[in-house]
Structure 1
Amino acid sequence: MANSASVNYIKVAHHFKFNYSEMKDIKPGQFVSSPVFYALGSEWVIECIPQYSNQELPGIYTCFRVKLKEYKTVNPTISLNLLKRDGKTYTLPIRYQQRNGTDLFRHGFSVLSNSLLEKDFVNDGSFELICSISNTDIPHNSCSLQVPRSFDLHSQIGQLMESTETADVTFHVENRSFMCHRIVLAARSPVFKAELFGNMAEATQKQIKIQDMAPEVFEAMLHFIYTDSFPSCDSKKSSTKMAQHLFVAADRYAIDGLKALCENKLCGRISLDTVAIILALALQHNSLRLKNACLYLLTEPGTLINWMLSDEYEDLVRSFPSIKAEIRDRVNTGPCDKKKKRKANSLLTQ
């Protein structure tokens, strides 16, 4: 495996080449490792498991696991891209795991079916993987100047949320009220800018009522607007639900950063239990990345057949009939046995 790196201590990208021909004979669960590489002042490694399977994912997959060499309290953003035969890149959806339920980062991982890996990415017996890691919470290096908290822009603007002295507009959401600052909202959202400083009625109003949004979702959206961070949640399940609601809110107010952050989180939470609702969100709010991540999970005919027998599938097709054609294209162009392909096509024509 060859390794070349570009390090700037803000965003780190590493390029690896894996010999897939040699990996195919490795026993299930075993892995091969990349060389140790450095990102943001820490040692990292990528473990590649070429014979990976679990109950959620019928079939055989290759799993990519990005790990710190030692446990640290970090909140990394990881990007994994596979290089296709035509020179283009494909972004793998990332899931994040924690250690023993604490805030200690354990690893980020992604899976891809072996049939798709061999079809689109293996070239002359090998495939290439590009890993990027960014996290401004990790110190740049041991000699870097630590910026005092008082000079932290996000922290200072975030403190405005706690203050009512300079607030100049109040939003009423169901039974709760939120005092805000027009200029902050306008700087973060073109929709708020048009409402609060344009020719709309809200531009002259100090009391504005928000419809069709839960108070906790509006509060979480304000948290991102003021702090540029995702709000903390009590559990993985509540975090997934909040990401779904915030994805809709971000699209409504054209907050691209929040929408992308929600896409990242939802890409890591796609399973047979959640794929219907996440795919519906992707279709309703024009998220090509989220749609493709869902369709890649469903490309395996065995997985697709199980899903198409569920009530969630029927509800989705009633709301978005055109998705059938896209799923059919994925099935017919993907590598699989003819029996499963015929069964999937039979269900798609019902």
Structure 2
Amino acid sequence: MVLFTGNEWVIDCYPRDTRQEWSSCTSFLVRLHGEYKAVNPTISLSLMKRDGTTSTLSHQYRLKGEEEEKLRHAIQNSPFERQVFAYGDYSNLLSAEDIINNGSFELICTIDNTDIPHSRCSLGVPKSFDLHSHIGKLLESSETADATFRVENRSFVCHRLILAARSPVFKAMLFGNMAEATQQEIKIADMCPEVFEVMLHFIYTDFVPSCNSEMASTKFIQQLFVASDRYAIEGLKSLCENKLCAHISLDTVTATLALALQHNSPHLKNACLDFIAEPGTLISWTLSDEYVNLVRSFPSIIAEIRGKVDTAPSFKNVKLQKI
């Protein structure tokens, strides 16, 4: 309900139109509520799309006189005589992927009245809703925490439900038949506390916190990439992949390629292979000890590297070193 021009306006939503032949339509009425002053508004209705543009509803009316009578036939059994000022419907709204966002939509109603600037009111979920900030505060305060993780010499208190919702691995660990489901303190091996801390922050907030120079290093991001894959946190894994792709060098490409192969990352693997196939890189790389170690661990990678360089004229006469 919105107060405008000294009147209370109501937007009624009918998810399914009462007419059988229009049963896939979602309809809206814009009407005055209770006692009201005389108004002569122009009202328009539109739906906000996920890309920020609007989609105009069909069958919009600025109702007066005979049009008000037509409206009572458009929506059967409407009890709001002489109160309805606009009507609009949208076919198949409930399945419109460009409009429905997380089960919600936003309806824009613009009311123009003589000598009064237009007003915009929305029906739906507010755009800025700071959910991650509120959940992140739970991590900071430890309020209602029900699990403790021990990583080397540090302890982290967490919420089982939040971890389970964000990671299928944590879900199986904390609510399945694994021993951790009943443990008060859960030990995490093969991970440094700083990596676990950043991973927790992402689980609670969907963001990676600001890092110092050491935590922004390629080595740290590689460790975070391994941790995100270990606990199947796909959003964090994707962020790490993009970061590692942007910092591939002759010094890092072997370790990064090995991680891509170990943790099933085609995107990261292809970025490494593209770098290796650049002129001036392949020869230097194949002469390194890192190349020898990589090929011994992943002998099939030679065929993939060859596939990348065979189409480059600069490498027609280059033979990859066999181990």
TM-score, normalization: structure 2?
0.59
2:317 is equivalent to residue 335 of structure 1 = no
Match of 2:249 among 268, 271, 287: 271
Is structure 2 residue 84 aligned with structure 1 residue 8?
no
Offset of 1:148 from its aligned partner?
9.9
Q: Deviations over 1:39-65 (max 9, x none)?
A: xxxxxxxxxxxxxxxxxxxxxxxxxxx
Structure 1 position 348 matched with structure 2 position 285: no
Per-residue deviation at 1:349?
Answer: 2.9
Shift of 1:177: 0.3
Q: CA deviation at 1:319?
A: 1.8
**AA matched with 2:138:** L
Q: What letter corresponds to residue 219 of structure 2 in structure 1?
A: K
In terms of fraction of residues, the more strand-rich structure is 1
Q: Distance in 1 between matches of 2:192 and 2:159?
A: 20
Task: After superposition, give the CA deviation of every residue in 1:264-310 in whole Å (9 maximum; x if it has no partner).
Answer: 11111112221111101100101001000110111235321111111
Whether 1:223 aligns to 2:266 is: no
Alignment of 1:227-306 (within 5 A): 227-235=205-213, 238-306=216-284
1:187 paired to 2:160: no
1:322 to 295, 300, 306: 300
1:61-87: CA deviation from partner (whole Å, max 9, x where unpaired): xxxxxxxxxxxxxxxxxxxxxxxxxxx
The structure with higher relative contact order (CA 8 Å, sep 6+) is 1
CA RMSD of aligned residues (A): 2.5
2:151 is the counterpart of 1:173: yes
TM-score w.r.t. length of structure 1: 0.55
3-state SS of paired residue (2:313): coil
Given that residues 167 and 179 in structure 1 are in contact (C-alpha distance below 8 angstroms), is that contact kept between their aligned partners in structure 2? Answer: yes
Asked if 1:313 is matched to 2:288, the reply is no
Q: Which amino acid aligns with 1:336?
A: P
Q: Is 1:301–1:336's contact at 8 Å kept on the other side of the alignment?
A: no
Q: Which residue of 2 aligns with 1:22?
A: none
Amino acid at match of 1:325: A
Question: What's 1:210 paired with?
Answer: 188
Q: Partner of 1:348: helix, strand, or coil? A: coil
Residue segments in structure 2 that go unaligned for 5+ positions in a row: 1-48, 54-119
CA distance in 1, matches of 2:295, 2:283: 14
What is the CA–CA distance in structure 2 between the aligned matches of 1:234 and 1:316, rounded to whole Å? 30
Asked whether the equivalents of residues 254 and 294 of structure 2 are also in contact (C-alpha less than 8 Å), the reply is yes
Task: Classify the secondary structure of the residue corresponding to 1:178.
Answer: strand
Give unpaired runs (5+ residues) of structure 1.
1-5, 11-142
Alignment of 1:119-158 (within 5 A): 151-158=129-136
AA paired with 2:316? Answer: K
8 Å CA contact 1:171–1:178 kept in 2: the answer is: yes
Q: CA deviation at 1:214?
A: 0.6
1:7 CA drift (Å): 9.4
Could you say if the C-alpha distance between residues 144 and 286 of structure 1 is closer, same or farther in structure 2, counting changes exceeding 3 Å?
farther
**Displacement, 1:253?**
0.5
Count the aligned residue pairs. 206
